Amino acid sequence: MDIKIILAEIIGTMLLILLGDGVVANVLLGKTKGNNSGWIVITWAWGLAVFVGAYVAVALGSGAHLNPAVTVGLVVAGNANASANFVGYIIGEMLGAMLGAFLVWLHYYPHWKETADPGLKLAVFSTGPAIRNTVLNFVSEVIGTFVLMFGILAIPAVWTLPGPFTVALLVVVIGLALGGTTGYAINPARDLGPRIMHAILPIPGKGSSDWGYSWIPVVGPIVGASIAALLFNVLKPMLGI
């Protein structure tokens, strides 16, 4: 297990969640400067959060997965680094997500008690469906993560811009186009790590952590990434790689 990869994924994922969940807090919590600034602000900031977290993780020596579904997808696609360091990537991603969520809680500490709706408090930490439908919510997460994973695999074959920049734009368009159903978790660590922190942190009037829904943003992304990797392997000869 490569300690450098674990540390890089912890810090990269921490920054991803600090900035990603941070923008949700800024938009949803009471008496913030960004209150009610809307979905466009959230989707663009999440894309930029991916950009920052990925660049830092690469600089520190990992493949900048920041996402267990991406790690699984790369293993399915035959990536040797992901396979050899699978456990380290998952540990780093989960710990980083939990640490990032803790920092969001701390940063916005005075605003939790200024927010009456417990659902908004949960939404800062984790995703939830706009219309609760188990099958279709699951399908939404599969589709969104399929797009993410297929893009991550395909873009380097035809595009020369730095990877984190293009993946950040990919996350923006997924949020804008597909995020309205479930909030586009597309990342098990992004949802589960902060959901755990929501459950254990002292947040005034926080309500339920909605554990009944929690498996969907974990299993759906893993399934979507795996399907994307399998299809990419079939199509690789067409790309000449």
List pLDDT tens digits, range 27-63: 999 999 999 999 999 999 999 999 999 999 999 999 9
Site of tokens 């990869």: 5
What DSSP letter does each residue of 141-207 carry, written as one string? HHHHHHHHHHHHHHHHHH--S-HHHHHHHHHHHHHHHHTTTT-----HHHHHHHHHHHHHS--TT--
pLDDT tens string 174-223: 999 999 999 999 999 999 999 999 999 999 999 999 999 999 999 999 99
- Which phi and psi angles does 129 have, rounded to 5°? -80, 145
Q: In the chain, where are the structural domains located?
A: 3-239
How far is it, in rounded angstroms, from Cα 241 to Cα 239? 6
How far is it, in rounded angstroms, from Cα 41 to Cα 134? 28
Q: Mutual orientation of helices 216-239 and 134-158 as an angle, nearest 10°?
A: 30
pLDDT at 1: 75
Q: Which of 163, 195, 14 is nearest to 92 (CA)?
A: 14
The token pair that represents 65 in the structure block: 């997965």
pLDDT tens string 224-237: 999 999 999 999 88
- CATH assignment of 3-239? 1.20.1080.10
pLDDT tens string 155-175: 877 665 567 889 999 999 999
Indicate whether this model's pTM tops 0.95. Answer: yes
pLDDT tens string 69-122: 999 999 999 999 999 999 999 999 999 999 999 999 999 999 999 999 999 999
Q: Which of 229, 212, 238 is nearest to 79 (CA)?
A: 229
